[in-house]
Amino acid sequence: MGLKLPIPVREDAFSKPMPLPMPLPLPLPKPPNMNGACKLPCVPLEEVTLEDLQKISTLGCGSSGKVYKVKHVKTGKIYALKIIQEKHELAVRKQIMREMEILRRANSPHIVQCYGIFDRGGEISFVLEYMDGGTLAQVLQAHKKIPEHYLAEVARQVLKGLLYLHQNKIVHRDIKPSNLLINKRREVKIADFGVSTVLAHTLAQCNSFVGTCAYMSPERFDPDGYGGKYDGCSADIWSLGLSLLECALGRFPCLSPGQRPDWPTLMVAICLGDPPSPPPDASPEFQSFIRCCLQKDALLRHTAHGLLLHPFLKKYEQRSCDLSPLLQSLHL
């Protein structure tokens, strides 16, 4: 067939040391995704205050809190309101606020917009762009597996979001299907960065932390085993590759069916095992794309920029990229 698929090479940008995920020091380390002050310009957004919002329904619950569908009483506009239920100590709250300020300034069609962050008596809430198509995790649950041509479109949009973040020297650190949101305008956007990692400090002892670490790259899972340093941008690429592979396989790729996703099992699978393989019946382009993301050696992983030029995305470029058939069976 003579297909020329790229072999893993990597652009050596944004190498930055990251703090160890465990044990978890307090006071919290400076956020690793920014050098000093946030460089993103502060884009003026519509003013939204908590008092103007009326709860309509619950959209979902995560490890850190609840997300509600809310309506702005004056404008009628719909938002998602994420409330971190547990009241955290001041140091944690301050870091959440700092990191969320980055999200508030992020302005890309592929990042869920944040319209306001509030700390009321220790309870933190975020007013977010409402994504009416749900999460990639919900789509996967409804469809069991997601065909390749949809995955190419999801990958293209998420990579554009990651490129924007990485070019602004921001790493996401929690790419996973439940943080990739879809709307009926066929847009896929990245949600939830910073917060989940900050909260992982307080969740480390709970099972919910496992959900956050399952998509971590080997060097993030075990920084000591990989020289104590890692590049957060290439760690995001691993997490994206794993999320897409999960959608293609219809199950979490690192574990066999029935295996418990606890910390030691994940550690062995992610750090000691071979990287998970794409399904043998997948196209050579998709197989190559996944291999470019799931290199255990972070230096060999492709960048967001490189992956946007990958033949897998080119292959489906001409095809209709309408994601709406995926959303039809969801009851949102």
Would you tell me which residues interact with ligand ATP (CB under 6 A)?
A: 59-65, 67, 80, 82, 112, 128-131, 134-135, 178-179, 181, 191-192, 196, 211-212
Q: Is 99 in the site for Mg ion (CB under 5 A)?
A: no
Q: Is 174 a catalytic residue?
A: yes
Cβ 288 to ligand ATP shortest distance, Å:
29
Residue 125 near residue 81, CB atoms below 8 Å:
yes
Cβ 211 to Mg ion shortest distance, Å:
10
User: Choosing among ligand ATP, Mg ion, none, which partner's interface includes residue 211 (Cβ < 5 to 8 Å by kind)?
Assistant: ligand ATP
Q: Is 64 in the site for Mg ion (CB under 5 A)?
A: no
Cβ 203 to ligand ATP shortest distance, Å:
9
User: Choosing among ligand ATP, Mg ion, none, which partner's interface includes residue 131 (Cβ < 5 to 8 Å by kind)?
Assistant: ligand ATP
User: Choosing among ligand ATP, Mg ion, none, which partner's interface includes residue 108 (Cβ < 5 to 8 Å by kind)?
Assistant: none
Residue 166 near residue 106, CB atoms below 8 Å:
no
Residue among 88 and 302 whose Cβ is closer to Mg ion: 88
End-to-end CA distance of the chain: 44
Cβ 287 to ligand ATP shortest distance, Å:
28
Q: Which of 248, 286, 254, 284 is nearest to 269 (CA)?
A: 254
Residue among 174 and 231 whose Cβ is closer to Mg ion: 174
Residue 83 near residue 62, CB atoms below 8 Å:
no
Of positions 99, 153, 192, 236, contacts Mg ion by CB under 5 A: 192
Of 34-42, 186-194, 235-243, 306-314, the window that binds Mg ion (rule: CB under 5 A) is: 186-194
* Half-sphere exposure in the Cβ direction for 279 (13 Å, CA): 16
Handedness of CA 278, 308, 233, 215 (dihedral sign): negative
Residue among 192 and 285 whose Cβ is closer to ligand ATP: 192
Q: Is 239 in the site for Mg ion (CB under 5 A)?
A: no
- Name the amino acid, one letter, at 57: S
- Which entry of 174, 192, 231, 236 is annotated as an active-site residue? 174
Residue among 134 and 278 whose Cβ is closer to ligand ATP: 134
Residue nearest ligand ATP by beta-carbon distance: 62
User: Choosing among ligand ATP, Mg ion, none, which partner's interface includes residue 194 (Cβ < 5 to 8 Å by kind)?
Assistant: none
Cβ 51 to Mg ion shortest distance, Å:
25
Of positions 64, 113, 157, 179, contacts Mg ion by CB under 5 A: 179
Cβ 65 to ligand ATP shortest distance, Å:
6
Residue among 195 and 293 whose Cβ is closer to ligand ATP: 195
Cβ 195 to ligand ATP shortest distance, Å:
8
Residue among 64 and 288 whose Cβ is closer to Mg ion: 64
User: Interface with Mg ion by CB under 5 A: which residues?
Assistant: 179, 192
Indicate which residues carry an active-site annotation. Answer: 174
